[in-house]
Structure 1
Amino acid sequence: MEKISKKQYWLTITVLSILLILIIIGSLIIGRYEMSLAEIWNVLINRLNGTQDDTLKIVDHVLIKVRLPRILLAGFVGAGLSISGAALQGTFQNPLVSPDLLGVCAGAGFGAALGILLFSDNRMLMSLFPFAFGLSSVLLVFFLAGTKGHAETLSLVLSGIVISSIFNALTSLVKYAADTGDKLPAITFWLMGSFSNTTYTHLKISSIPILAGIIGLLALRWKINILSLGDEDAYTMGINPLYTRWLIIVLSTLVTAACVTVSGIIGWIGLVIPHICRRLVGVNHGTLLPVSCLMGAIFMILVDSIARNLTTAEIPIGILTALIGAPFFAIIYRRTKGGR
């Protein structure tokens, strides 16, 4: 696709921003306990004025304590996973590269499961484990692929499958050792991915690393375009390609690990959304990454709304994203003929 004009880009950003706001409002309204827009407005006004309306106590609790933190967290996670996938795909010029295919999700998932098993009462240690093991998984993938930065698609995918399998096996070992009455159910449901029981504590834990990673990737978005020209051209432009490439990997891992910590493993977002966005704004990462952020937030909030309203028993969101992402992956793989 040809490079879009600045006017087209800002029009896309504006439309997606409005769509995001509308979906947030719709998600606040729709649920097992239905609320009207007027009730939501009155609750927000009362909160701003410091007043209280006894007739809106239930609405206030559901809106402020249950739905608002959940929707905000879903938006953060969707934006973070999407921009991470777009950045990694652009950095390595591989359409099949994504955080979950590189083993980040499996590694971070093992770290989080281990954290739940050993440090369920210490949120700080539980938050550090996913990042540490997520980064370790990426290092192992590139070591196994035998690359210093550039890798063929098939090598990365196969290496990611191997490392993911190892970490998945270790996660199963953690589940085997976990207490069947308490920690095992917590690990099992967490691994399927969900935003249920989201609190503002989850937002505090995840929002800072996710925002830091997103800002860092946005700051590097023009350098990702330069990396696509090759290492020699990057050096002539004053950019160290190896340092820049690993900085992008660390930032993407930081974002993904933070997302996994609070939402469990939600795969395919980092693969599906960037490809949709490329059809909208092209391959220029100066425009692709911001659009991926907005599109990812929209998609995640929408899917989460479906997950909690489709049936009486909430569907784990990881199941829905896999049902959407797996066929999409098959289409991409078919079109790219396995990366060859």
Structure 2
Amino acid sequence: MEKNVLSLVLAGIVTSAFFTSLVSLVKYVADPNNTLPSIVYWLMGSFNESRYTDVIYILLPLLTVGIIIFKMRYVINILSLGEEEASSMGVNVNFSRWVILLSTAILIAASVSVSGIIGWVGLIIPHFARMIVGSNHGKLIPISMFIGAIYLILVDVFARTVSYGEIPIGVITAIFGAPIFAWLLYKSQLRGWRHD
């Protein structure tokens, strides 16, 4: 299990480095007067350039994979018990895992295509939702979506009102998200030490 996790982490690092270099290449060849500022602003994440037509374009993939993930909520509950337990309950672990990963990737890609990179939301909000409703994904998925939407609206209002120019949302979520995630990590480690 540890080998699989290590391989997954290393694969993530390699993939991230490769695509970061591609983004750097695009920034390098982009027109510095018109295109480059748009790319930089998109990389910081913002709703400033988003339009209602963008929502129409991403609505079908979001609804499709959102329904798939919600339909698999009980499978996700079983998978959280571990591979052996899930297999003993009749779950096809590899197939289910790939469906969930691909669906999540499509959700993220569709969202990022219209708003840019807004980090830390997917790390912080589910933790708070879990504190409210527990680990049952039947409740956790819709509550996470609801809290995440409210959080982004509040951050967007803050970004538009705190200064004369709109601050990119991704910058604000990173400023808030990093210390909150560190606190959540500390709390989970503290809980683990107490159980030991």
Q: TM-score range by the shorter chain?
A: 0.7 to 0.9
Give unmatched runs, 5+ long, in structure 1.
Answer: 1-91, 93-144
**In the alignment, which residue of structure 1 is the partner of 2:80?**
228
1:322 matched to 2:174? The reply is yes
Partner residue of 2:42 out of 185, 190, 195: 190
- Name the CA distance, whole Å, in 2 between partners of 1:156 and 1:321: 26
- Select 1:219's aligned residue among 63, 71, 85: 71
Q: How big is the shift at 1:156?
A: 4.7
State the shift of 1:188 in Å. 1.1
Query: Quick one: which of 43, 51, 59 aligns to 1:199?
Result: 51
2:100 counterpart of 1:254: no
Q: What residue is the counterpart of 1:241 in the other structure? A: 93
Q: Give the partner amino acid of 2:88.
A: T
CA distance in 2, matches of 1:245, 1:304: 33
Cα 1:159/1:324, change in 2 over 3 Å: farther
Aligned CA distance change for structure 1 residues 246 and 270 (closer, same or farther; 3 Å): same
Q: Which moved more, 1:172-181 or 1:315-324?
A: 172-181
Structure 1 residue 287, shift from structure 2 partner: 1.2
Q: How many residues align?
A: 191
Deviations 1:232-261 (A, max 9, x none): 332333220110011000000000000110
* Residues 1:276 and 2:132 are matched in the alignment: no
Instruction: Kindly state the Cα deviation for residue 213 of structure 1 after the two structures are TM-superposed.
Output: 2.0
Distance 1:319 1:289 in 2: 25
Alpha-carbon distance between aligned partners in 2 of 1:302 and 1:246, rounded to the nearest angstrom:
33
- Counterpart of 1:299? 151
AA aligned to 1:167 is F
Give the Cα–Cα distance (whole angstroms) in 2 for the partners of residues 256 and 204 of structure 1. 16
Q: TM-score, normalised by structure 1?
A: 0.52
The 2-side partners of 1:302 and 1:210 are apart by: 22
* Alignment of 1:266 onto 2:118: yes
Higher mean Cα deviation, 218-227 or 193-202? 193-202
TM superposition shift of 1:336 = 4.6
Q: What are structure 2's unaligned runs of at least 5 residues?
A: none
1:304-327: CA deviations, max 9, x gaps?
Answer: 111112211000000011011111
Aligned-CA RMSD value? 2.3
Give the whole-Å Cα distance in 2 for the aligned partners of 1:310 and 1:206.
Answer: 30
> Which has the bigger relative contact order, CA under 8 A and spacing at least 6?
1
Calculate percent identity across the aligned residue pairs: 49
Tell me how far 1:159 sits from its aligned partner: 4.7
Q: How far off its partner does 1:330 sit?
A: 1.8
Q: Equivalent residue for 1:171?
A: 23
Name the residue aligned to 2:137: 285
Q: How does 1:119-138 map to 2 (within 5 A)?
A: none
Cα separation, 1, equivalents of 2:188 and 2:58: 35
